[in-house]
Structure 1
Amino acid sequence: MDRKIGENIRALRKLNDLSQQKLADKLGISAQIVSNWERNCNSPSLQDTEKLAKIFSCTIDYLVNNETFYEMNCYLNQIKDKELRNYWYKELVRCKDSELKALQTLWETMKSVAVAQ
């Protein structure tokens, strides 16, 4: 299974301020199933993927294939301050893929400069 769908589900769930239980309730499934998706133990069905896309106001393709969102999510998870992390989640989810790639390049450059100092 492609690892990024679980990460994307987790990130989008948090972005929408939903607990696993609240998301499960919206989908008519158990919280354990949501947990399994997020931990990449299994994948949502096509029907559940369609429901997730509707809940998160995104396309199925974005949910399943957005590699850049997955990569940026990895960076965001390093931010300890929850309020700051949530701010960036909300801002980044609105970005086009090309903008996310540009931000990723900028971030990598900034990290390399900081390490060099």
Structure 2
Amino acid sequence: MKKLNDYWWELREKYQGVASPIDRPADAFDPGAKYHIPGNTPYTRYYLARVLQYQFHEALCESMGNEGNLHECSIYANDEAGVRLRNMLSVGRVSLGLMHSRKYWSRTLSGNLTKLLCAT
């Protein structure tokens, strides 16, 4: 248990580029300040949300005919993109069994069966 805090900061620095602002005592439990740790909340949902957020944006930009860089594509005030986004988000109302289907998400993101979850 005494090395847990040191390991926590080692991982934070390695993966997030964040270091402890001060030296921490051996009995400190800094991970407990992040409610996900004591509450046993998995981080996987955040990772998946980031991937889906990217893919939603990509699908919306492609539907608008964007051929440039994705980070330069803006869907701001675009009515067609708004309708498409509303349709994509409406899938939250379906049964969980259907939501776990690859074909279902492919169809949702791109309107056909060619797109799978991809973090590229």
Q: TM-score, normalised by structure 1?
A: 0.29
More contact order relative to length (CA 8 Å, sep ≥ 6)? 1
Q: TM-score, normalised by structure 2?
A: 0.28
Work out which of the two has the higher radius of gyration on C-alpha atoms and give 1 or 2. 2
